């Protein structure tokens, strides 16, 4: 067996150990939250000695949870570490909330807030079981979340454009006039020409995330530092797509400022081209997948060129 294969086997073993340690640490924290809540839910209250023991057990459980995050090597991937960190933080914040709820509740009585806080700790600990096991799975999870947000943004704008009507039609009419007389709530003909290319760019964003997610699922690996770093780079730049889509979408509502739309579209186009470039040069994009990268790059350029033409007079 070669040295590389031995190292891969060691890496797999360490991940398995980490998964067991992670699961046990969070399970114990959940149990300590239950013990703490029950101890103060009915009389008699715990003695000073028992209270000290409860406090120590909770602190030890939380320290074990924190150790899981700090023990996770940075080399395993920043995307994975962020997710473990967020899960750890949620458990810690839940335990703080539970403790504060017990303090402000009548001692020896179980309030609704205390039950909710206890359940919050349980839920936070339970979610750990669904955390990704490696950086490839973590990036898949992150990309799926990004795609979901962009899908919603595209669908919302499509619904607003599906009929040639006032996008603010759900706003209550003016009591005196009986109608909304402000034409700034309507799209002009020039607006609608620009909107078509903007929608093309938004749909390209959705298609880009969908295809990147697909290749990361199919070809993504977390077996070497280079592969892990490439996945993190992809996740980092892909994280910029959703905010850029949102900024463009907001500027598309009337009254439209065509220059603002152009600037937001250019920002989104730049992000998309970076995502496509990073994807193409990474291990998740074999030669057989380069076709769609070129196609989407062309689609981004095409829509951006049309947006520039429509807004040339604004410069």
- Reply yes or no on whether the pLDDT at 1 is more than 80: no
The residue with greater pLDDT, 203 or 13, is: 203
- Reply yes or no on whether the pLDDT at 58 is more than 80: yes
**Amino acid 66: pLDDT:** 86
Task: Report d(CA 47, CA 216) in Å as an integer.
Answer: 55
Question: How far, CA to CA in Å, does 75 sit from each of 6, 135, 139, 229, 281?
Answer: 18, 10, 15, 8, 21
- Reply yes or no on whether the pLDDT at 283 is more than 80: yes
DSSP string, the chain: --HHHHHHHHHHHHHHHHHHHHHHHHHHHHHHHHHHHHHTTSSSPPPHHHHHHHHHHHHHHHHHHHHHHHHS-GGG-HHHHHHHHHHHHHHHHHHHHHHHHHHHSPTT---HHHHHHHHHHHHHHHGGGGS-SSHHHHHHHHHHHHHHHHHHHHHHHHHHHSSSS-TTTTSPPPTTTSS---GGGS--HHHHHHHHHHHHHHHHHHHHHHHHHHHHHHH---SSHHHHHHHHHHHHHHTTHHHHHHHHHHHTSSSP-HHHHHHHHHHHHHHHHHHHHHHHTSTT--GGGHHHHHHHHHHHHHHHHHHHHHTGGG-
**What's the mean pLDDT in 142-153?**
97
**Amino acid 25: pLDDT:** 80
Task: Report d(CA 248, CA 173) in Å as an integer.
Answer: 28
Give the pLDDT confidence of 19-33 residue by residue, as tens digits. 655 667 888 889 989
**Amino acid 236: pLDDT:** 97
**What's the mean pLDDT in 149-172?**
76
The two tokens of residue 246 are 């949102």
Cα 69 off chain centre by: 19
Angle (CA) 240-244-152 rounded to 5° is 95
**Amino acid 295: pLDDT:** 97
Q: Which of 86-90, 110-114, 258-262, 296-300 has the lowest mean pLDDT?
A: 110-114
- Peptide bond before residue 44 is cis, with ω within 30 degrees of 0: yes
- Reply yes or no on whether the pLDDT at 169 is more than 90: no
Task: Report d(CA 157, CA 59) in Å as an integer.
Answer: 49
The two tokens of residue 296 are 């989407």
Backbone angles phi, psi at 254, to 5 degrees: -70, 150
Task: Report d(CA 248, CA 241) in Å as an integer.
Answer: 11
What is the pLDDT confidence band of residue 304, given thresholds at 50, 70 and 90?
very high
pTM, full prediction: 0.80
The percent of residues above 90 in pLDDT, for the chain, comes to 55
Q: Which of 51-60, 164-173, 200-209 has the lowest mean pLDDT?
A: 164-173
Closest CA to 140 of 125, 130, 128: 130
**What's the mean pLDDT in 81-108?**
86
């Amino acid at each position: 067996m070669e040295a590389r294969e031995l190292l891969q086997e060691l890496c797999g073993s360490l991940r398995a150990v980490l998964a067991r340690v992670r699961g046990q640490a969070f399970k114990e924290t959940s149990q300590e939250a239950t013990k703490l809540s029950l101890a103060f839910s009915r009389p008699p209250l715990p003695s000073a000695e028992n209270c000290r023991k409860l406090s120590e057990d909770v602190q030890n459980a939380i320290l074990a949870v924190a150790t899981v995050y700090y023990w996770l090597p940075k080399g395993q991937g920043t995307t994975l570490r962020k997710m473990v960190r967020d899960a750890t933080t949620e458990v810690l914040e839940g335990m703080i909330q539970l403790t504060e709820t017990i303090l402000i509740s009548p001692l020896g009585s179980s309030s609704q807030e205390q039950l909710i806080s206890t359940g919050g700790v349980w839920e936070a600990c339970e979610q750990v079981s669904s955390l990704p096991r490696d950086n490839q799975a973590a990036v898949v999870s992150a990309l799926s979340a990004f795609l979901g947000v962009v899908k919603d943004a595209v669908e919302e704008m499509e619904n607003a454009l599906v009929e040639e009507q006032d996008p603010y039609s759900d706003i209550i009419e003016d009591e005196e006039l009986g109608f909304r007389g402000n034409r700034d709530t309507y799209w002009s003909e020039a607006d609608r020409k620009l909107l078509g290319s903007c929608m093309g760019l938004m749909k390209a964003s959705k298609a880009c995330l969908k295809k990147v997610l697909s290749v990361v699922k199919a070809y993504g690996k977390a077996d070497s530092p280079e592969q892990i770093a490439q996945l993190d780079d992809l996740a980092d730049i892909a994280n910029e797509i959703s905010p850029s889509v949102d900024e463009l979408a907001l500027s598309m509502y009337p009254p439209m400022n065509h220059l603002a739309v152009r600037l937001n579209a250019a920002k989104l186009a730049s992000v998309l081209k970076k995502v496509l470039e990073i994807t193409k040069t990474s291990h998740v994009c074999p030669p057989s997948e380069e076709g769609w990268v070129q196609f989407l790059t062309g689609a981004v350029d095409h829509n951006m060129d049309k947006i520039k033409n429509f807004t040339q007079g604004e410069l």
